[in-house]
A and B are shown apart, each in its own frame.
Chain A
Amino acid sequence: MKLLRFAQTYLLAALPFVVGVSFWSDSVPEGKLSPEAPLALRALWEVLSWNLMLWFAVLIVFLVALIMSTAAQETTLRRIANIRDRDEREEFLTGQAARVSYLSTLAAGIFLLFLSAFRFSATSTKVTISMQPDVKSAFVLALLVWQLASFRFAIRKLAAD
């Protein structure tokens, strides 16, 4: 958990540098500083580039932990969603809010799936609807399946406890 908190803090603190170096690299031809550039500038470029790589590595580990570990979800998402359930009523309210947010996200997901899987074309005489599933719709579908499966799994686990 300490490692996770450290990762959270690092990801947040280093984010401005990651964004900064991304913008900077856009203005550098072929992503390489010229050898005639001042030493301090080249050193800064090196440090920021290594930081960028480390940041992405930490981000991947952090996201995997977030999907796999309930404890990681608790500590991180509570901070992001500002969940403070200090007693049973606040726990109840959190549950109600989670229900509303789950259903609305599901509805939005189904809507997005519909939008990405179908193509609409209209002329003055007819409207054509055709199905053209692509990678985007596959992602949305996978997300919906994940959402439904994880909900059912959580419900079964809680009911069994």
Chain B
Amino acid sequence: MPRLAAKLEIENRIQEFRQKLALTQQDLANAVDVTRATVVALERGSYNPSLELAFRLAKFFKTDIESLFAVKK
């Protein structure tokens, strides 16, 4: 049986990008079609988004995924 890989710790700059655009968490939530609670969890780092949501966020901030998400060192 394959063993589960060790979990990677991922950090993001969603809050920083959002504040640059002077958006509220609700604005961002509406823009990427999630609930405000999800934006809160993403910014807190307690939830890692799916690849699809990560792309949606990157597209919304007009950046690439690597600028938005990184593996914690």
Identify the A interface with B (CB < 8 A). Answer: 86-90, 92
Q: By the criterion CB–CB under 8 Å, are A88 and B35 in contact?
A: no
A92: nearest chain-B partner, CB-CB: B47
A90 to B38, alpha carbons, bound, how many Å?
Answer: 8
19 A-B residue pairings within 8 Å (CB atoms): A86-B34, A86-B35, A87-B34, A87-B35, A87-B38, A88-B34, A88-B49, A88-B50, A88-B53, A89-B34, A89-B35, A89-B37, A89-B38, A89-B41, A89-B47, A89-B49, A90-B35, A90-B37, A90-B38
A-B residue pair count with CB separations less than 8 angstroms? 23
B49: nearest chain-A partner, CB-CB: A88
Identify the B interface with A (CB < 8 A). Answer: 33-35, 37-38, 41, 47, 49-50, 52-53
Chain B residues touching A, majority SS: loop
Q: A96 to nearest B CB, angstroms?
A: 11
What are the residues of chain A within 8 A of B50 when measuring CB–CB? Answer: 88
Chain A residues touching B, majority SS: helix
Q: B65 to nearest A CB, angstroms?
A: 16
Q: B38 to nearest A CB, angstroms?
A: 4
Q: Which 7 A-B pairs have the closest CB atoms?
A: A87-B34, A89-B38, A89-B47, A88-B50, A87-B38, A87-B35, A86-B35
Q: List 11 additional contacts besides A87-B33, A88-B38, A92-B47; criterion CB under 8 Å.
A: A87-B34, A87-B38, A88-B49, A88-B52, A88-B53, A89-B34, A89-B35, A89-B38, A89-B47, A90-B35, A90-B37
A88 to B39, alpha carbons, bound, how many Å?
Answer: 12
Q: B11 to nearest A CB, angstroms?
A: 17
Q: A86 to nearest B CB, angstroms?
A: 5
Q: B23 to nearest A CB, angstroms?
A: 18
Identify which of A89, A90, A92 gathers the most chain B CB atoms within 10 Å of its CB: A89
Q: A25 to nearest B CB, angstroms?
A: 49
